[in-house]
Structure 1
Amino acid sequence: MQLVRNWFDKISIERIQLELMNTVYGSGHASLSRIDPRAMLIWYLFFAIVPWFVHNGTVLLGMFLLMVTTTILSRAAP
């Protein structure tokens, strides 16, 4: 039971939001730190949900390259 409780604590919405905000705003030199947190959450949700409904390889490759570029520019921690 404790294992299940610990697992649910790790996947709570508050925890995910905190991790996302720490990744984006944790370092002041990140290029994404100038974006409003609500816009960042919409950006994340868009790239998490939309690829499931797109079947064009070119569009998916473009979205992937955009995400790789923004990840490199934001200097995200592994």
Structure 2
Amino acid sequence: MEKMFKSVDGAITELTEQEVYQILEKRQIALEKIEQDKIAYEQKIATEQANKQSALNKLKALGLNDAEIKAIIGN
């Protein structure tokens, strides 16, 4: 394992094995949280796109054409 150091009151000391494992554990937890947040964001975007497409399909089912839909929603 790579040696890790800390600075305490200006003195540099080597981290204990326990401190290294704690840091690595916290880093792993942070990486997992980032991955979960990324997945949640991607799911949110996919849901929003699906909802938009569903709304467009419903408007078309009511008989509106693309130009009319564009006039309503501005896209």
- Is the TM value for this pair above 0.5? no
In terms of fraction of residues, the more strand-rich structure is 2
In terms of fraction of residues, the more helix-rich structure is 1
TM normalised by structure 1 equals 0.29
